[in-house]
Amino acid sequence: MRVWLAHLIFLPLAAWALITVLDFRAASNVVLWLVAAVIVHDLIIWPLYSVADRAGRLALPGPRINYIRVPAALSLLLLVVFWSTIRGKGAGTYTRVSGLEWDGYGTRWLLVTAALFAISAVVYGVRSRTGRQPAL
């Protein structure tokens, strides 16, 4: 019942968003970007991470691969979301508007990535020492 209610609520919202996006004069650019993103993901990125996942499962059989897969996926997601910020795009505008410097985002991403892998290693160590099967 909750699923149907959620669909009834969010389907009109998604339809409104789609109509709003396609109503722009530059809608062809938005649609082109969406189509290009689907093609690039399905034809290039998906096979690459499928091969990487298969190789990881061969190297670490069983559920141990999850202790590498989860922090790697979160780190990659952060990299994709903050790529423009990490490479410094918009630094001049940010400095003019806020008076602050735009530095250290790449270093922070690396620190967060290291922390994710460290937390994953600690969880794996604790679960393997307590006799529980290490699984996520």
pLDDT of 25 over the 60 cut: no
Same domain, 83 and 32: no
Say if residue 135's pLDDT is above 60: no
Segments forming the whole domain that contains residue 46: 1-59
**Same structural domain for residues 53 and 66?**
no
Last residue of one domain, picked from the residues 59, 76, 93: 59
State the average pLDDT for the chain.
83
Q: What is the pLDDT of residues 26-44, one digit of tens each?
A: 556 677 777 888 888 889 9
Quickly state the pLDDT bin for 74 (edges 50, 70, 90).
very high
Same domain, 75 and 120: yes
Query: Of 32, 59, 86, which residue sits at a domain end?
Result: 59
Pair 77, 127 in one domain: yes
Q: Report the pLDDT averaged over residues 84-103.
A: 80
Q: CA-CA distance, 17 to 102, in Å (whole number)?
A: 32
3-class secondary-structure state, position 58: helix
Q: Are 21 and 70 within one domain?
A: no
Residue 103: strand, helix, or coil: coil
* pLDDT score, position 109: 93
